[in-house]
Amino acid sequence: MSKLFKQIFKFVIVGGLSFVLDFILYYVFTRFLNIPEMMSQVMSFSISVIFNYLLSMKFVFVAKDTLKKHHEFMIFVTLSVLGAGLNWFLFYVMVYLMSINDLITKIIVAGVVMVFNFVTRKIFIEKKA
């Protein structure tokens, strides 16, 4: 199995766990705590990003030697904020403008943002072989 394939596999596992956490939190926030959808989206996504950072840097990516931990974290957060912007934009369009079910939308948007996250983290965080 190639190194890239193994990395993608680990990324998908970590991303899947992060998505499950995001989805469960979103569901609890909206269905049990009656927090509005967009606020729940922000809250659940933010918590899952921190979880994702911890697992990604432990199991998926090897940071560039030149990056200090706080720089690595800031780049990760910046890329995640860009991903979040894409996430929230697509969520808003699909739920409020296209009237697609919010839970189905979360699944679709997660796939799009996952590709964005992998590519940008490979480019900006990953140590070159």
Tens digit of each residue's pLDDT (9 = 90 or more) over 12-52: 999 889 989 999 999 999 999 999 998 998 899 889 989 99
Which residue in 87, 99, 90 sits closest to 45, CA to CA?
87
Q: Which residues contact 3 (CB under 8 A, 6 or more apart)?
A: 129
DSSP assignment string, 62-120? -B-TT--HHHHHHHHHHHHHHHHHHHHHHHHIIIIIS---HHHHHHHHHHHHHHHHHHH
pLDDT band at 88 (very low <50, low <70, confident <90, very high): confident
Q: Are 84 and 120 in contact (CB under 8 A)?
A: no
Residue 35, judged by CB atoms within 10 A of its CB (0-12, 13-18, 19+), counts as middle
Mean pLDDT of 52-66: 91
pLDDT band at 104 (very low <50, low <70, confident <90, very high): very high
pLDDT of 12: 93
Does the pLDDT at position 1 exceed 70? no
Alpha-carbon distance 88 to 10, whole Å?
A: 25
Q: What is the mean pLDDT of the chain?
A: 91
Which residue in 14, 84, 72 sits closest to 46, CA to CA?
84
pLDDT of 35: 97
Q: Tokens 């432990």 identify what position? A: 58
Does the pLDDT at position 67 exceed 90? no
Sequence ranges of the domains in the chain: 3-124
pLDDT band at 66 (very low <50, low <70, confident <90, very high): confident
Q: Which residues contact 72 (CB under 8 A, 6 or more apart)?
A: 57, 63, 125
For residue 9, give the amino acid letter: F
Mean pLDDT of 93-115: 92
